[in-house]
Structure 1
Amino acid sequence: MERKKLQEVLRELKMLKHDIPNTELMMNTPPKDIEDCCCLTALTCFRETLLQHFGISGKYQKKLYKSLNHTLTISGLNFCNTETSTTNCSTCHSHPKEKASEFFNRLESLVQRVRLFQIYFRKLYIKY
């Protein structure tokens, strides 16, 4: 179920990337190398930044925002075993601003990371 939701997020993200008028827009963007326990914090940052700059008025914005807020997406990005580990995560406003194109590339990388993680463990599970 999570896998389908993550595939849906990637499709919606791709549609929105092609639909945005200003790829030069500067947005707070989490880093490429997000620690496992900071994935949910990064997701929250991506979601809030998306809402702040694009709203949810457009078709693709609304669908993507809703999918990023879905419990299956959130559980798919929860790699952390304890809540205290998230205290080392940076706040959204502390992340440097990057062009919108880079923002979307990093969001896509985060979602793909989850998919790769799931594929790896599914293969490992089948193997044993």
Structure 2
Amino acid sequence: MKTVFSFVLCALLAMTYWAETAHAITPKDMLQVAIRQVTQLKIMKQTDSLFHSPTNGIEECCARSALECFNSQMLNIPTSNKELQNKLHKTLRKNMTVTSVDRCTVEEKARVKCQPCNSYPMIDSHEFMKNLLSLLQKAFILLP
């Protein structure tokens, strides 16, 4: 009985210590992770692969839609580092990442008609990744 009590006490102390020292992930942290993953992902040279890419001129209230467009094609980007590619895909899907790029109110979004992904111009994978990086950096700068 004393052993079980000691174990429970140690577990509670460990959880308390972890809760006190754990770093809460902020939206800026999440965007920094995504930006780092994009810059680390090495794209293989392939001229026959083209992707629909939102450009730098997307409407502010369409940033969420643009992020979803990028992410819908992410796993098709030619790279030798599939593990990092999968991590980036998951990071871009996370709610905190999505809400970090989406700075508009419901009313503002209702007034804007965002382009469907397949209406964006087709570009090569290097430009695609540059445009994604630009979107993430812009969202990072706009966060408080």
Aligned length: 115
1:7 aligned residue (19, 32, 38): 32
Who is 2:123 aligned against?
98
1:30 aligned residue (47, 54, 57): 54
Q: Which runs of 4+ in 1 moved over 2 A?
A: 22-25, 51-55
Identity value in percent: 28
Give the TM-score normalised by structure 1.
Answer: 0.82
Q: How many angstroms apart in 1 are the aligned matches of 2:101 and 2:111?
A: 14
In our comparison, the structure showing a higher alpha carbon Rg is 2
Who is 2:111 aligned against?
85
- Could you tell me whether the CA contact under 8 Å between 1:37 and 1:85 is conserved in 2? no
Q: How many angstroms apart in 2 are the aligned matches of 1:115 and 1:53?
A: 23
Unaligned runs of 5+ in 2: 1-25
SS in 2 for 1:65: helix
SS in 2 for 1:103: helix
The alignment status of 1:21 with 2:44, answered yes or no, reads yes
Q: How far apart are residue 22 of structure 1 and its match?
A: 2.8
Q: How many angstroms apart in 1 are the aligned matches of 2:133 and 2:57?
A: 13
Q: How far apart are residue 53 of structure 1 and its match?
A: 4.3
Who is 1:65 aligned against?
89
Give the TM-score normalised by structure 2.
Answer: 0.73
Determine which structure has greater relative contact order: mean sequence separation of CA pairs < 8 Å that are 6+ residues apart, divided by chain length: 1
Unaligned runs of 5+ in 1: 123-128
